[in-house]
A and B are shown apart, each in its own frame.
Chain A
Amino acid sequence: METTTIKSDLKTDWSYSPAPESTDHIRINQQVDLFINGEFIPSEKEKYFETINPANEKKLADVAEADKTDVSKAVSAARKAYENVWSKMDPAERGKYIYRIARLIQERAREFAIIETMDGGKPIRESRDIDIPLVSAHFFYYAGWADKLEYAFPGKQAKPLGVAGQIIPWNFPLLMAAWKIAPALATGNTVVLKPAETTPLTAMKLAEIIQEADLPPGVVNIINGNGKTGRALVEHPDIDKIAFTGSTDVGKLIMKTVAGTGKKYTLELGGKAANIIFEDAAIDQAVEGIINGIFFNQGHVCCAGSRLFVQESVADTVISKLKDRMETLIVGDPLDKNTDIGAINSKMQLDKIKMYVDMGLNEGGTIYQSSCKLPEKGYWHAPTLFTDVSQSHRIVQEEIFGPVLAVQTFRTVDEVITKANNTPYGLSGGVWSDKGAKIFKVSKAIRAGVLWANTFNKFDPASPFGGYKESGMGREGGLEGLMPYVNLV
């Protein structure tokens, strides 16, 4: 049992001087238009909405909002490009274009990372070391498949579907764009992509790269707007396939809308992952895994390890170590290279997180928050955990999508498997143990798309990703990620 704590001492006299990434060389257009048929054009009604930096609430740009007419324009450009050019192109040639996009992103990686951080609030450490490298890796990976589809599906021919409408969220803006665009292009489809309204800027930079890569006009179209624009895209009769990443509620709506239309769809929705720490785990490394599981990207991660299960015999130790570690997390300026936790993406999301924290308190949970000082301007939330909660608490059941961890204890393997599966979601999960047999037993028994053993939140383009139950359908990434974009004949 812990008798003392060094927690308070971790606020040391030796603090790190600010180390902000310079933004001097970053060019953000004050006005961002729609990217249709290879050109940047204003929207039909010339209506614009603002995108801001959530870390200081300063406006970054005015972004053109696409309405039904604009959506139609984009879809018909994509259709034309599909019929006349892209579907007829030699697959190896298609691959060359995708490789070119991957290389150009690599070359401008720092610029992309900084803009991603400015527009979305995530720490530069993550956008620089995780998001952007994965983006180019994803394009590289699918570029390789473009002329090898006959090996992916032996004995069959993989035919493209046509025009894909793709709607992506704000938590990994450019990475989700890559997840959507790369496999669609590799298989010969053309796309209309709609980024989230709070984070349109890196996707529009990607549009610049697509121009630079000399992609045939109309193969990739990028339009912006809110849910209305998304709805127009989903409802458009000339779309063959919808790929959506976002909330389960919207996912259900999309299923209803496309039912009976013959449109194919993949949905990557919410999650409430169980992260399970057994008594025979490497405890210090497991604590690090808990931190990465829930506080990565401010907890704006659909596969976040938001439900922690700790075996009772080590619960006190783990929770005390977890609290110590939370104290060392640096919350603040996302552009500072030492920042661990950046800004919450939007006021709306911050309000939602606060609503859940209040709910947790009202339901009788015991709260612990790190004592970090939050900046005054912008949207911020301290790393938070709740103990004294159970499966019956709503903060344990519902996706919060913020830096809030719900901690429960368990006694036996069977008990924790049952509880881990006691959720409408099934996107991911984590198992921590030094015993290989236990890891295999537990990870097989948990109904979720991705199970990490002795690690968490690891991504690779070659690895498929997707959910069971209300976490979605279809897989993205890997060979499996080609399937939703082809008809096999």
Chain B
Amino acid sequence: METFLHRIDEVGAQERVARLFSRSIKKESKIHALKTVLSMIDLTTLEGKDSPGKVKQLCYKAAHLHDQFPDLPTVAAICVYPTMVPVAKKALRDTGLKVASVATAFPSGMTSLSYKLEEVKMVVDAGADEVDMVISRGKFLQGEYHYVSDEIAQVKEACGKSHLKVILETGELVTLDNVRFASDIAMAAGADFIKTSTGKVSPAATPPVVLVMLEAIRDYYNQTGKKIGMKPAGGISKAKLAVQYLVMVRETLGQDWLTADLFRFGASSLANDILMQIVKQSTGVYQSANYFSID
């Protein structure tokens, strides 16, 4: 881990965000960005009322975003609850799309480690390519950082070959200092990705939080040579904001992170706004939202 604690100045972080977000992305660079964003989406449904039918519909949408429009990428993955992993896995076979499952008593994480590990094993056995775990925020805020770190390390081990995304739930960590420290802990403990939020707590991903996590990833890479991925999730529903996040990634981490291997958006309604923008760029006019399917 770090030799010194990373301090974050919130005002400064907000100013940096404002500056990054003032970049003007037009024409070809906008089209390129929009398509890149599409390919990075983890299309998500995480509701108590999810059913196999709903998940199957979402899976079809994931692989057929807008068939009327040629040369569109697919999203990167589908993100579902553990019981839906077999359904999604079956629906997505032969598509190359990944199945991600939340686990470890998502979204609160308030259960014992043994149950969490069992849940992880269950989703991995069911074929989940990616596991999105939550950290124990209560323990973190109590100062029990080793507990948090050990837990992540054990979940990582239980993941086997599946990729591990560690959700910090930054809305509950509150300060940027905490966000930075939690990011450092997660990366050192074996996270393949760090992720902002469950989407169940407000605020979810905020621009300063994403910036701080990207900077943590950059420092970790500079020290270890290991490339950790990043996934902002929750509250990203507009194309403009998603493109602004790409600018942030480009100017903080560089081109290597501008792929679905290292950057994802956790979102449910973002894809349609992107599609609407892409179609607009080619036709010059916005189409009605009714032209875009809502699965």
Check if A and B associate: yes
Chain A's closest residue to B256 (CB) is A9
Tell me if A6 and B254 are in contact (CB < 8 A): yes
Q: Which residues of A contact B25 (CB under 8 A)?
A: 16-17, 19
Contact A17:B27 (CB < 8 A) given known A6-B256, A284-B8, A328-B251: yes
Q: A160 contacts the other chain (Cβ, under 8 Å)? A: no
Contact A283:B222 (CB < 8 A) given known A16-B23, A16-B24, A17-B28: no
Number of interface residues of B (CB under 8 A): 37
Contact A4:B13 (CB < 8 A) given known A9-B254, A285-B8: no
Query: Would you list which residues of chain B between 1 and 53 have a CB under 8 Å from chain A?
Result: 4, 6-9, 11-13, 15-16, 22-30, 32-33, 36
Tell me if A9 and B255 are in contact (CB < 8 A): yes
Tell me if A2 and B223 are in contact (CB < 8 A): yes
Number of interface residues of A (CB under 8 A): 37
Count of inter-chain pairs, beta carbons less than 8 A: 101
Q: B218 contacts the other chain (Cβ, under 8 Å)? A: yes
Q: Which residues of B contact A13 (CB under 8 A)?
A: 255
Tell me if A320 and B215 are in contact (CB < 8 A): no
Q: B91 contacts the other chain (Cβ, under 8 Å)? A: no
Chain A's closest residue to B254 (CB) is A9
Question: Bound state CA distance, A1 and B246, in angstroms?
Answer: 28
Contact A320:B222 (CB < 8 A) given known A14-B29, A285-B8: yes
Tell me if A338 and B24 are in contact (CB < 8 A): yes
Q: B258 contacts the other chain (Cβ, under 8 Å)? A: yes
Shortest Cβ gap from A106 to chain B (Å): 20
Interface of B is mostly: helix
Query: Would you list which residues of chain B between 233 and 266 have a CB under 8 Å from chain A?
Result: 246, 250-251, 253-256, 258
Contact A17:B12 (CB < 8 A) given known A279-B4, A281-B7, A283-B7: no
Q: B286 contacts the other chain (Cβ, under 8 Å)? A: no
Question: Bound state CA distance, A337 and B223, in angstroms?
Answer: 34
Question: Bound state CA distance, A243 and B193, in angstroms?
Answer: 59
Select the residue from A16, A328, A338, A434 with max chain B CB neighbours within 10 A.
A16
- Other-chain contact of B26, A2, A10, A17, A279 (Cβ < 8 Å): A17
Q: A282 contacts the other chain (Cβ, under 8 Å)? A: yes
Question: Bound state CA distance, A74 and B215, in angstroms?
Answer: 57
Q: What 8 additional pairs, Cβ within 8 angstroms, besides A9-B254, A129-B22?
A: A10-B251, A14-B36, A16-B23, A16-B26, A17-B28, A284-B13, A284-B215, A289-B12
| 10 residue pairs bridging A and B, Cβ less than 8 Å apart | A6-B256, A12-B258, A19-B24, A281-B7, A283-B6, A284-B8, A285-B8, A285-B16, A288-B16, A289-B12
